[in-house]
Amino acid sequence: MQVSVKGKQIDVGESLRGHVEAALGAIADRLAARAIEGHAVFSREAHLIRCEVAVHFGRDLVVHAEGDATDAYAAFDQALDRAGKRLRRYKRRLRDYYHGRDREDAEAALAATAYVLAPEPEETAEEPAADDGPVIVAETATEIPSLSVSEAVMRMDLAALPAFVFRNRKNGGLNVVYRRTDGHIGWVDPDLAAPPAPRAP
C-alpha cells in the first residue's frame, strides 16, 4: 500500500512519517487486505494538532477519520483508532462486498458530475442579492454506485460522510442515506411511479 504523509504549516519529520507508514500498513493488512493507498494530513487548529487519515480500498471505498491532540503522534493514534473501529465493525461485510462484485458494480454505476459551490454571500439591506445561481468552484467527474441499502450505509459510515447518494440495486432508483441528528440513519427511496404531491398554496 502506498502511504503519503503531509503537513499543512507543520513539519513532518522522518520519525513521524515512519510511525504513520508502519501503523497504516499494519491496520490495512490486518483488517482488509485490499488497501491501495493511505494518506495522513497534519494541521494546526488553535493549540491542537489535527490529523486526518484516509485509506482507500478497492473501487471507490474510503475509510476516513480524524483525531485532535496536543501532540502529532497522539492525534494520529486517535484518528487511526477511530478508523480501525469502523473497519472492524464492517470487516465481514467488506469481505462479502469484494467477493466478485467490483465488475458488476462498475457496470451498473451511473456517470455523474460532482460540483463544489461557493458559500452564499451575506445579504445587506442596501444591496439586493442577484439571483444568478450558485458560483461553481470546482467540477469533477464521478460515479453513483449501484449498492444495497446496507452497503450504502457502510460506505457512508466508513468515509464519515453526512449523506450518501446511490443507485438502489434492488429497484434501480436513486436513493439517499443520511445521518440524522438523533444518531439514527435516514433513508430516502423516492417512488418515481407515483404522481407528484400537490404543492401547498
CATH number at 32 reads 3.30.160.100
Q: Report if residue 197 sits inside a domain.
A: no
Q: Looking at this protein, which amino acid is placed at residue 41?
A: V
Cα distance between residue 189 and residue 169, in whole Å: 12
For the whole model, what pTM was predicted?
0.75
Other beta carbons within 10 angstroms of residue 82's beta carbon come to 17
Q: Could you tell me if 159 and 74 lie in one domain?
A: no
Looking at the structure, do residues 21 and 70 belong to the same domain, yes or no? yes
One domain, residues 9 and 78 = yes
Terminal CA-to-CA distance of the chain, rounded, Å?
A: 58
Going residue by residue through the chain, which has 201 residues, state the pLDDT in tens, using 9 for 90 and above: 889 999 998 888 899 999 999 998 887 676 655 678 899 999 998 899 999 999 887 667 889 999 999 999 999 999 999 998 988 888 777 776 666 555 455 557 888 898 898 888 776 555 555 667 788 889 999 899 999 999 999 999 999 999 999 999 998 899 999 999 999 999 999 987 777 767 766
Give domain status of residue 70, yes or no: yes
Residue 29 lies in a domain: yes
State how many domains the chain has: 2
In a domain, 38, yes or no: yes
In this structure, are 92 and 108 located in the same domain? no
Q: How many residues does the chain have?
A: 201
40 and 70 within one domain: yes
Same domain, 62 and 146: no
- Helices 72-89/91-98 angle, 10° precision: 60
90 occurs within a structural domain: yes
What angle, rounded to 10 degrees, do the helices at 14-31 and 72-89 form? 10
Specify whether 91 is located in the same domain as 147: no
Does residue 199 form part of some domain?
Answer: no
- Give how far Cα 173 sits from Cα of 12, 21, 32, 80, 112, Å: 46, 41, 30, 35, 15
Q: Are residues 156 and 77 in the same domain?
A: no
The Cβ of residue 176 has, within 10 Å, a number of other Cβ atoms equal to 15
Q: In terms of domains, do 18 and 85 share one?
A: yes
Beta bridge partners of 2: 37
CA 54 to chain centre: 9
| CATH number for the domain harbouring residue 140 | 3.30.505.50
Does any domain span residue 198?
no
Backbone phi and psi for residue 60, each to the nearest 5 degrees, phi listed first: 60, 25
The predicted pLDDT at position 128 comes to 55
Q: Note whether 81 and 46 are same-domain residues.
A: yes
Q: Which class for 189: exposed (0-12), middle (13-18), buried (19 or more C-beta within 10 A)?
A: middle
CA 169/CA 164 separation, integer angstroms:
15
- Residue 61's domain spans which residues? 2-96
How far is residue 122's CA from residue 76's CA, in Å, rounded to a whole number? 37
185, 177 Cβ separation under 8 angstroms: yes
Q: Count the Cβ atoms, other than its own, within 10 Å of residue 76.
A: 24
pLDDT at residue 179, rounded to an integer: 96
- pLDDT score, position 180: 95
pLDDT of residue 54: 93
